[in-house]
Amino acid sequence: MVIEIPEIFQPDEVREIRAALASADWTDGRATAGHRAAQVKENEQLALDHPLARQLADRVIARLFQTPLFVAATLPQRVLQPRFSRYDGRGHYGNHVDNAIFPIPGTGEHLRSDISSTLFLSDPDEYDGGELVIEDMFGSHTVKLPAGHLVVYPGSSLHRVMPVTRGVRFVSFFWTQSFVASPERRRLMFELDGAIQSVATDHPEHPSVDTLTNVYHNLLRQWSAT
């Protein structure tokens, strides 16, 4: 399930974030890639222990949990610290699949990467190329969103970032462990949630709203335990 979520950050907020990133120290992005991914990755990243990385990551996570569409689409149990990358001068990231399990820094715990997310921090007219291409069971999806917009997609999907041939592409990316591990069940929950919202808007007093809401939460109880 590939879902685009608009306006995680407003344009003035994006400009503030970009200004902070412009003065940051960047490192070789291959340092955080697995053996296979490192062979096809060419970009720069903000080190996880950089003070700015932690500050901006906290800001992103806070905004995500204030965004109903993100919560409905991912049913987030935990979100790994968002990371920040920079692509220019033919920077790219070839076909790869994200690691299934990530260590959570400083905790000794791990996170299952059910869902991958990319938050765009550059507008499409600021750079050429740089499209995120996601391959899943429904085909190929090419994504290049306005700054401040987010796309979420299955962590199990094969995906790539096309070479940037002009300008600079800034993004934040991260992984979410969902309360519902199965992507098929998450899709059903997302569609059911949307149906409930529609019925509640059009017929707020209809008894079906309570019935459907009861079904939703009972399914969540059942599926979050597996």
Q: Are residues 207 and 101 in the same domain?
A: no
Q: Are residues 143 and 191 in the same domain?
A: no
Q: Are residues 143 and 171 in the same domain?
A: yes
Mean pLDDT of all residues in 44-49: 92
51-64 helix and 11-22 helix, angle to the nearest 10 degrees: 160
| Both tokens assigned to 184 | 């098929």
Question: Does position 37 have pLDDT exceeding 70, yes or no?
Answer: no
SS3 179: coil
Give the pLDDT confidence score for residue 41 in this predicted structure: 83
Q: Are residues 142 and 42 in the same domain?
A: yes
Q: Are residues 190 and 109 in the same domain?
A: no
Q: Are residues 123 and 153 in the same domain?
A: yes
CA–CA dist 98, 40 (Å, integer): 13
Q: What is the CATH number of the domain that holds 58?
A: 2.60.120.620
The structural domain count of the chain equals 2
Tell me the pLDDT tens digit for each residue of 83-113. 999 999 889 999 999 999 999 988 899 999 9
Question: Does position 55 have pLDDT exceeding 90, yes or no?
Answer: yes
Q: Are residues 145 and 203 in the same domain?
A: no
- How far does the chain reach from its first CA to its final CA, in angstroms? 20
Tell me the pLDDT tens digit for each residue of 118-135. 999 999 999 999 999 999
Q: Are residues 209 and 140 in the same domain?
A: no
Q: Which of 31-45, 126-140, 199-213 has the lowest mean pLDDT?
A: 31-45
Q: Are residues 71 and 106 in the same domain?
A: yes
CA–CA dist 171, 173 (Å, integer): 6
Give the pLDDT confidence score for residue 158 in this predicted structure: 95
Q: Are residues 192 and 83 in the same domain?
A: no
User: Confidence class of residue 217 from pLDDT cuts 50, 70 and 90?
Assistant: very high
- Domain extent for 197: 183-223
Q: Are residues 78 and 162 in the same domain?
A: yes
Q: Are residues 49 and 10 in the same domain?
A: yes
CA–CA dist 104, 57 (Å, integer): 14
